[in-house]
Structure 1
Amino acid sequence: MHTQGPPWIDNAHTRHSYDRDWIIVVGLMLIYGAVLFGYRALLFVGLTTVVTLLVYRVTAKLLSMVKKHSPHISLSYALWSGMLLGLALPMMRDWTVPMIAGATLGVLLHLIGRSFRLRIHPVALTLVLIWLVPAGVTRTDPLSMRNAFAQPIPAVLTPSHLFVGNVNNYDHAGSPDLRDWLATSNREWDATHRENPQLQISVNQRQILEQPRLFVNMLASGELPQIPDVIFGVVPGAIGATSPALLIFLGLMLIYKRLASWRTALSALVAMVCVYLVLPMRLGVGDDVHISFVMTQLSQMEITAAITFIAYVVLASPWFLIVMIFGPGVDPMSRPGRITYGLLLGGMVAMCVWFSATPEAAYLALVIAGILSRPLDNLHRSPFVHR
């Protein structure tokens, strides 16, 4: 029922009902991830959650010894936060990454979040830390496995073609091998390896805009997964967040439960598309360098190709996970603030992914938006609030 009153009245939930609804959301994400990635997904998320809960309990005990009136964080909140962190991570053979991530989250749960002065999503900050620290120290990216030569985890997917035999030791002769099953680019991986669409589109988006036919060729050759595969999440990526269709459904469920705002989601989508269209890019080499814009380059494509490219960028971006799932955890309490929050979040997601060419940079946009969330509460105008 719609109510009139103070700005926080729409978000009035008991802690039990709030945590229960979020456990349902992450539970559905876990089921979907288990279908795609098998039992390894359950073990991976379970390990992350257990480490989060253990560190959370130890940190709570230490804080109670230091501070008598330390903030109380429910165990169920730590439970679904740990599960959400595990679902936002990609499958990997290195089990130390989920352990470090879970330990980091277990500490951050006592320092930041909606109930604290610093309204930053603890899961988002954890993802930023485990992305930035290895990138700065070892030049590797544990989230997208860029520059990390670890053995890939095979997803439980249905490949279009299956080859029997060992294709790792391919021929290194100078002349090209004309056999059909080796006609694709040579990789020292399994024959059924599939590309991560988030990583591929973020790395190649400038090159695609410079060469209008390249996007169609990449789709036709399989270098970019087909749009139906991207929509339903039959691609590598985060365990529980590869499917935009699933994230949209869960986001709508959160909106129905009044745990999220449709104003934030709509304004974030509009902001992301509009900001992306006006982003600058440098073309040419040497003395023939000039500045163009994404919108200008799209005008050189066929209308269907341009629309498909924009749709692919949105579907393959982490926008749905950040705005529909993470965003409601730290959004402002005022309705004008939610619109402003959505505009800032959508625009920063587009800029972070564009200028860094890394999908994980979008989590940094969520951290910045979280810092601005509490001041945006002051945008509310109501006779119930004394100024």
Structure 2
Amino acid sequence: MFILIQNHQDNRVIYRLHGAVKSLNLKTSAQPVLVKPDDNYKDLADEINELAASQNKQIQYSSMANNELLKIINTLPVGVMVINQNSDVIFANPQMGDILDRKISREAHPYTIDIVNYKMLTMIDNVFNSHQSVRSEITAATDGTKTIDTQVVYSRINSSFHVIVIAYDISDVINITQMQVDFLRNASHELKTPVTAISGFAKTLLDGAKDDPEVLTEFLEIINQQSDQLTSLINDILTISHIQKDEIQTSDSVRLKDFVDQELMTQSTQIKQHNLEIQNLIDETFEVTMAFDSLQRIVRNLISNAVKYNRDGGQIIINAYSQGNFWYFSVKDTGIGISQRDLSRIFERFYRSDESRNKQQIPGTGLGLSIVNELVESLSGKITVKSQRGVGSTFTVRLPKEN
């Protein structure tokens, strides 16, 4: 009887030891095997328990490391997708869903459900077939303006492999690069025009035209005009560079009506040439607090724009008011107006509509509205425009009261 009881107890211990060893083999958390101090399997149980405790610590550490890795991957600015050798998506971070414009399921599923771009699909298929990583820039099928830097990586671990898709939306980088190219090209063109004119007329005068007083006066006036144009362009470019440097300026309290009247005086010649009617409706007591130079550039460029693009005998209405935590400044003209096609681009550097270039040959550097826009944005403000062809335009600047 004693032998039967002892065998039964031994079988229970052996069964628990077998379960612990099985957990160790499967690399899962194992429960300690408790036996009596005088048990025949005490030494074996202690060894297995020590191994189990060590493995449990490794499992816990590995789990913590995986969680930290997932947190890092989920906060990366790039999209990450992991595809197993069965072509199923087993992981994708939120950024990948944003880049693909899709909600990606957490359950394993074929990658063709999420990825519909032909070029990206082709890249993944090639990696599965060649076992070689590839990289390329892809234009998203859902939005032609989205450019994605895509890398498909082949990763083998022992006898299995995974394909990792890493995607980064570089649309902003591409746009900035293109803006820089456009800026240099347009700046070179705008600088070349007055320089060519000055050089050409100067050479003509040196070749003998200076002996004719009338021609001499005419050519010198043209050279002077082109010099002013060149100076204006250089000053505008310098202004933009100062805005980009985010220079700190001292704020001043300014009585806006008087300030606008002074700016109107500086442009009185052009205003008289076009026989324009000016209405400054700003209240005499209305004051704003901001950097003098920034205010001057904003007001000067908006008034200059309204003068240049107005019709002869037209009207300019200037107003300002306070609302909530902001104050507003508006300039309304009765000029040629802006087409809907041009409205989305008028704040781009050097951009000038075909109407201003071809029909009226309106002078200017094409930087005025860009300067206003960038200045307003640097001051946490916003500029809007309402316009109708043949009727006129209204530009409104909204700025915080404290700058």
State which structure, 1 or 2, has the greater radius of gyration over its C-alpha atoms.
Answer: 2
The normalised TM-score by structure 2 is: 0.22
Greater relative contact order: 1 or 2 (C-alpha under 8 angstroms, separation 6 or more)? 1
Higher-strand-fraction structure = 2
